[in-house]
Amino acid sequence: MFSNYLIGLREGLEASLVVCILIAYLVKTGRKDALRPIWIGIGIAIAIAMGFGCALEFGSQELTFQAQEALGGSLSVVAVGLVTWMVFWMRRTARHLKSELHGKLDAALALGTGALVATAFLAVGREGLETALFVWASVHAASDGTPRPLVGVALGLATAVLLGWLFYRGALKINLAKFFTWTGGMLVVVAAGVLAYGFHDLQEAGWIPGLTDLAFDISGAIPPDSWYGTLLKGVFNFQPDPTVLQVTVWALYLVPVLALFLSPVGFASGKGKVKEPDEKGTQPSAASQA
Q: Which residues make Cβ contacts (< 8 Å) with residue 202, sequence separation at least 6?
A: 69, 70, 73, 74, 208
Give how many domains the chain has, as a whole number: 1
Domain that holds residue 218: 2-289
pLDDT digits 0-9 by tens, 38-66: 889 889 988 998 888 888 878 777 778 88
Q: Which residues pair with 214 in a beta bridge?
A: 243
DSSP classification of residue 280? T
Q: Which residues pair with 42 in a beta bridge?
A: none
Alpha-carbon span 208 to 216, nearest angstrom: 19
pLDDT digits 0-9 by tens, 3-48: 677 777 877 877 887 788 788 888 878 888 888 888 898 899 889 9
Rounded to the nearest 10°, the torsion over CA 128, 134, 136, 138 is -150
pLDDT digits 0-9 by tens, 148-166: 667 777 888 888 888 888 8
Q: Which residues pair with 243 in a beta bridge?
A: 214
